[in-house]
Amino acid sequence: MSWKKAAIAILIPAIGIHLFLLFQTPRLVMGQVFDRLQADGFQKYHFRSSEPATPDNQPVVRPSPDLAYALCWFDLSEGPVEIRGGMWDGYGSLAVFNANTDVVFFTSLTRADAESGGVVLAHTGDSANVMSTQIRQTELPVVLLDAPMGVALIRRLAPTNTLFAAARRVGQNDVCTQLDG
């Protein structure tokens, strides 16, 4: 065997697997997130509030004991979704992540910032329906996603037990619901 053939036999699979894993890692990581959510009984289109992050409760790496989280996951192939977070006096935010781990939408939930506090998400293939009456009535910005699946994550700064309980009460006003396309 010539050294050229040996080099090709090594380099082509090396480069191939390297590039495949490099570009697919974000999607693979999010795939594990979706699998974990389903295995843990997280329903779609429903914000679920977390328990305080403690040594006995840490479903993700580097959980923050300072924050009250709420998470909702969705599949836009089933239609557009309205996502809205209840306003919070302290630091609060709503972020939407697509299946590639990218932040596709972000808004403040801090009352003083007076931002929209929500968004309507739709699949790119649904663009013809995003001006439906129901969607217009939300008066929220509309964001189109190429990939249908994603998660919405709400954070509220709540470093004490009292604030954490208050954040959970506010979280009862969080909305993650399907809309008519």
Partner 1 sequence: MKAALIYLLLVVGGLFLGVATLPVGALLVENISVEGWRSNWSIGLKQTNPYTRAYVSVFGLLGLPKSEAVYFTRGYDDDGELLHGDCVYEMTGTAQAGQWWSITLYDRWGYLPINNGQALSVDATGLGNSPDTSWRTVISDKRPDDGAVWLSADAVDNFELTLRIYKPSAALLADPKQAFNPPSLKRKSCTGE
- In the list 151, 167, 170, 176, the residue contacting partner 1 (rule: CB under 8 A) is 151
Asked whether the beta carbons of 144 and 122 are under 8 A apart, the reply is yes
- In the list 87, 93, 140, 149, the residue contacting partner 1 (rule: CB under 8 A) is 93
Strand partners, 70: 49, 154
Give the nearer residue to partner 1 in terms of CB position, either 82 or 97: 97
Q: How far is CA 100 from the centre of its chain?
A: 10
- In the list 34, 48, 58, 115, the residue contacting partner 1 (rule: CB under 8 A) is 58
Contact flag: residue 38 with partner 1 (CB under 8 A): no
Asked whether the beta carbons of 164 and 66 are under 8 A apart, the reply is no
Contact flag: residue 13 with partner 1 (CB under 8 A): yes
> Which one-letter DSSP state was computed for residue 127?
G
- In the list 143, 157, 177, 178, the residue contacting partner 1 (rule: CB under 8 A) is 157
Positive or negative, the CA dihedral 74, 76, 78, 84 is: positive
Contact flag: residue 165 with partner 1 (CB under 8 A): no
Half-sphere exposure of 168 (CA within 13 A, CB side): 11
Which of 170, 148, 140 is CA-nearest to residue 158?
170
Give the nearer residue to partner 1 in terms of CB position, either 14 or 165: 14
Contact flag: residue 62 with partner 1 (CB under 8 A): yes
Q: Which helix (H) or strand (E) holds 7?
A: helix 3-39
Give the nearer residue to partner 1 in terms of CB position, either 135 or 145: 145
Contact flag: residue 29 with partner 1 (CB under 8 A): yes
* 89-97, 121-129, 132-140, 167-175 -> range binding partner 1 (CB under 8 A): 89-97
Q: What is d(CA 54, CA 153) in angstroms, rounded to the nearest whole number?
A: 19
Considering the complex, what minimum distance in angstroms separates the CB of residue 80 from partner 1?
Answer: 22
